Amino acid sequence: MSRPDVAALSDLLGPALIQAGVELLDVQWKGSGPGSVLRLVVDRPGGVGLDDCERASMIASAILDAYDPIDVRYSLEVSSPGAERPLHTEAEWRAALGRRVHVRLRSGDAERVVEGRLVATGGPTVEIEARTARGRSQPVTVPVADILAARIAVDI
């Protein structure tokens, strides 16, 4: 097997990482053959630090060694989702409440961007408090079905 089943790896590693205090957000497989990389993206409330990544790496390594689900040589990387992490799941949207977000969405035949503070999420829409051209705040309701990409935006 040169491309492991990342969903199966997530199922295998996720529960142990939760017990260690971090949530497994994503499992990525890059490359093919002996130079491949298995990347685990982990997070926890308040963010992860180097110690969290190191602990997650040791736990994942032990499980991967015990179950041996990958039959090629690879490197294991464990990282945080980063400051401008993408938003995909409902749980990620809920965790971003109150934070600044950058949302690219369909608007008819075109695309537009809404950036501002996420004030509500759930159901078929999200609500973003965005600034107008005059510098005033205005709520913008965005249908989830129209979102093409979304991420946390760094507050500067």
Question: What burial letters (b/e) apply to 55-73, b meaning 16+ CB within 10 Å?
Answer: bbbebbeebbeeeeebeee
Q: Using a pLDDT cut of 90, give the percent of the chain over it.
A: 68
User: What is the model's pLDDT at position 2?
Assistant: 54
For the segment 46-104, what is each residue's pLDDT rounded down to a tens digit? 788 999 999 999 999 999 999 999 988 999 999 998 888 889 888 889 888 999 999 99
Please name each of the domains of the chain with its CATH number.
Answer: 6-79 (3.30.300.70), 90-152 (2.30.30.100)
**Is the pLDDT at 119 greater than 50, yes or no?**
yes
Query: CA-CA distance, 147 to 40, in Å (whole number)?
Result: 25
What is the Cα 13 distance to its own chain's centre? Answer: 16
User: What is the model's pLDDT at position 1?
Assistant: 43
